Structure 1
Amino acid sequence: MPVNLDKVAHWKADIALSVDMYNDWFMRFAPVAFRNTRIKAAQDVEEALKATDGLRNIQPSLLRLHPEVLPTLRMSTCPPLAVDRLIGLSGVTPSLVKTMELTKRPPARMNEATLNLQLAKVAAIIARLADPDIFVWLGRSQAPAPDELHRAATIVADRLCGAVANPIIRNAQEKRQLAAIKAWLEARGYVQLAGSDGVRFNAMKPGTFSFRLNVPVKLEGGVQQVNIPVDAVIMPKTAQLGELPIFFEAKSAGDFTNTNKRRKEEAVKMAQLRANYGPSVRFNLFLCGYFDGGYLGYEATEGIDWVWEHRIDDLAFFGI
């Protein structure tokens, strides 16, 4: 039985309440999440600066052993360099920089001589464009003073965090949403299963739940198998033998535009789950933030139901 997808008359009021809840959370907690990330980023930047002698000695060996410093180095130039701009200026193979940025390791198939040559080109561009207004010690013989090093690290950390502000906020919001689900379930006697215990979604006992659980599916053609991560997997206390758990995807958004751009993602995920496990799959959303009538209508048409976080007790209507 539908819980919210067919209650069109209530959508407008719920959207307003959800936006208010998100904005209230953002004003109170988002700056803290951003600030904590910036502190950690500044520490990492300072270590990178020490390892490169304040950007005066950027060795290919450092980039090879610690590719995670590459975003820091990109944000240390004037102007800061986007990934594609760094590739264009250095003339290196695009897969080199993109692999290092995404996986935090060099391309596995690139031989060592080629890798060192290309990393040397990247290092040369960084050294040439290093921002002298931030790294005030460049061009002088003395090493940077501790306060100069810390100040420069903070500036670069601000640049790094500014480039990834939305993911920082989104990750903090997701943690809060899952914490809300956890508190609600445990208050009703449910027991959390840790994903590290090798939990299988179709072998969960009634009255248990798990977060960020991988559900294996075979893609179209039935050859390639991939794992679909699901934010919350709940096995109702009343579940019968062989019954599938209920899936919930935690979704938050700080604007209406982004949600409508990505509204097909949930439909694709549900279609893959049902293609593998049958029409009885129950895939739903846990929403907080800017989800307008266009988004809700699309999901409802696809048969996807939802629970608003500001009315979390609606979880009970799913038989939980």
Structure 2
Amino acid sequence: MKKYSLLSMVVLLFVASGLLYELYSDEHQSQSGNSHVQIEESVEPAQEQSAEEEIVASDVKKKNSAFGFEACLKKEGLREEFLKIYQKLESLGLSGTQLAGQGSYQQMPLESLRSYAQANDVNAMYLYGLETMYKASLGIYMTLSYHEESDAENISERARNHNFDKKLFNEGKRYLYQAAVQGKVIGLGEISALHRLGAEKLSKQDVKSEVLHQFVAEGFAYTLLAKDIVRDDEFLIDEIGLKSKTFERYLKQALPGTKIEQIKSELKKASEESYLRLKDRWDVDRTYQGLEVYPDIFTESEEQFYTVTIENKCG
């Protein structure tokens, strides 16, 4: 059986069968699958979806594999240890219930969520930052419960025609970055992915090419920062899809239709310079919080359990 990402496999188990219900007594179990926005025409190529979009994709083959995977975990007595690793992994980003649009924070009014984020609640900062960046990029929030009445019709058309709101985007990015500083490091990958989406929007608006190119370069800098931060966790680099993120691929998707060979060298240099500035900022911010600048998130035994034990028994 093909080995799927640990995070995507467990979320599929959660959404499909409620396997993890007992782990989330403070949140509501999903009633009808994913409650996030579904856009008929994909804004980005499927292979380059953001972490959350990729995780909740309702692929039948993966669901069938997930059911077999769950049965194997129970049979081999590996389920409890497996879920401990999953809980640790999901603490770095959104939880399973939040991915399904049913988290406890998503049940409160958006203004209340914002108030919690302003009070430095790390979960609220992550979710509010992500919601705000989606709104800035697509004109609609990620979670259905935050939609306005006018969002109900022609969601796809509205998303396609929306003018990118850079001010709102930067507001959301500040919250998402601060959540990453406090431990939700997957947020750095989300910032990078949403920069890419925002660049597609900006390219259709009346902006100077140097402004657009700097925006793209800064976006990939967050991918470089994420790779650097989790460098002691090869396991995590695989799980959140950082290994496949290349600069050339990023450019092609952020600037479709552009002859990237003519600008690649210049933008790569700009991205590396932006990364160095971000790295210095990260060092200062993590030190101020009393946290390790480069955390080693998973122990060797945890990595061994998943990459060897799980693969050999249920792979």
After TM superposition, is the score higher than 0.5?
no
Pick the structure with more strand per residue: 1
Q: Name the larger-Rg structure.
A: 1
Structure-1-length-normalised TM-score: 0.28
Pick the structure with more helix per residue: 2
Q: Which has the higher contact order (CA 8 A, sep 6+)?
A: 1
Structure-2-length-normalised TM-score: 0.28
